[in-house]
Amino acid sequence: MWFYADELKRANRDSSVSMKVERPIPAEPPIFDRFYVCFDALKTGFVKGCKQIIGVDGCFLKTVVKGELLAAIGRDANNQMFPIAWAVVQVESRDTWSWFLSRLKDDLNITDDLGWSIISDQQKGLVQAVAELFPHAEHRMCARHIYANWGGSHKGPKIQRQFWNIAKSTTEVDFKENMELLHKMSPQAYEDLLERPNLKHWCKAFFNPMVKCDIVDNNLCEAFNGRILEARCKSIYSMLEDIRKLVMERIPTQRANCEKWTKDFGPRIEKKLQENLKLSRYCHVIWNGENGYEIEAWGTKFVVDIKNKSCDCRAWQLSGIPCCHAVCALLHKGVDPSEYVHSFYKKEMFLEAYGKVMEPVRDPKFWDRINMHEPPIPPILKKKKGRPKKLRKKTVLETTIGNDGVEQMSRKGTANTCSLCRQPWHNRRRCNLRANDNTESAPGSVGELIVAREADMSRQIVTANQLEAQARKKLTQKKSEGSKKKGLQKRV
């Protein structure tokens, strides 16, 4: 691994590659502890062509030697993931997160964190590490994970829909109205939601409009973890190589995709603008004669200021893309709404992000073995009982794909019913009626009940077999009658 780190720094100059080992016993070989990678092409592209928002997340390694992969992901001009840096650590803790974020902060040269946003889940020690290293930055929490923890106790499509209405409220007025509606639906759900992390961390109404990003989830990190799913099952060196190749090939691919753009911004931005264009049909314009507009839509009035690029709904300020009210005002003025899309989404910024390529790395047999460090040994294996699990444990609210390709909800938390006593939360194998009955089949006893039910089941089976036999008999009779008719026709 020491030689691999040297080769990465040789091939990609100005890249940050560092490894840390531990030697708890001086006489023993060093033990691998951490490995950090941030290529110069990625950190340069992020600083020049991406918004000031970083998603951080960690995922488990699925190899024999367990560990965690920490990753920092940005958003490019087309709202797609932009990997910045990643690291392999033994455990996920405040120490490892502080170590990872401090190196990331130095690589991106973040001296003033005001105006930056960090979005993450609620990992161990991550909240404390972000508060320590980015004290003035906005720390957003993934609303999907908050709902997964909160929604397990408060189920139902109406409550689920109301939660997302709260999370996606762009103004404090809408936020308060949606919270009151939730209180009317379920006071307990309302109280439990207030006990979750501060609402300012996962509701759009309290987001900083300087970032020009209105996301409330950390899906880009989840997408990155999904792309490297097979790599996480390999050894540390093979996994790091797969990630490097994936990111290296992605840069020219994104360049080629940019050449197919029909406008000055990406297809995802164009899709969002078209959606706002369709919604603008339901808006009514009241113009003051200059740059002020009153837009009436769905029983509410919104003031749009074209000069300052603002709307009372705050959707324009948060995303940098004209909302439906702004689109209506711009069309009334005779201006193309695409001209008012923020510069963060322009093709120029996208090409800046992918303007620098990553250099190829040589085969291990050609590496320069100059710095002869003592090679580290793998961490101590902490094997758990049972077969090692490959798949992540899904929550109650997540769906799985069945053998027929149809989404299926998890049965976790649902009450199954016993076929003997008709009571929930157990089956006939663990039924107390069967376990507590020590008598013979006395009249009215539990044993008689069991025997009677089994007899009923056997009768049902016999009846089904009889019906099937009768159906076969009728089918054979029809076939024989048909053959007799054909024989008579031939004779005639």
Tokens coding 33 = 């502890």
- Quote the longest CA-to-CA distance of the chain: 106
pLDDT for 438: 46
Residue at 103: amino acid letter = R
CA distance 22 to 91: 14
428, β-bridge pairs: none
CA distance 323 to 311: 8
376-386 burial string, b = 16+ CB within 10 Å, else e? beebeeeeeee
Given a cut of 50, the residues of the chain with pLDDT beneath it are 438-444, 488, 492
> pLDDT of 157-194, one tens digit each?
899 899 999 999 999 999 999 999 999 999 999 998 88
In this prediction the pTM is 0.77
Residue pair 378/32 in contact by the 8 Å Cβ criterion = yes
CA distance 336 to 10: 49
CA distance 308 to 166: 27
The runs of H, that is alpha helices, within 202-346 are 219-227, 236-258, 267-279, 315-319, 324-333
DSSP at 349: H
CA distance 295 to 301: 6
Sign of the C-alpha dihedral computed for residues 101, 105, 108 and 114 taken in this order? positive
CA distance 258 to 387: 46
CA distance 82 to 254: 11
pLDDT for 54: 94
Sign of the C-alpha dihedral computed for residues 192, 193, 194 and 197 taken in this order? positive
Question: What is the DSSP annotation of 13-73?
Answer: TT-EEEEEEE-SSTTSPPEEEEEEEE-HHHHHHHHHHS-SEEEEEEEE--SSS--EEEEEE
CA distance 239 to 237: 5
The total of other beta-carbon atoms located within 10 Å of residue 245's CB is 14
CA distance 411 to 11: 51
Residue pair 102/36 in contact by the 8 Å Cβ criterion = no
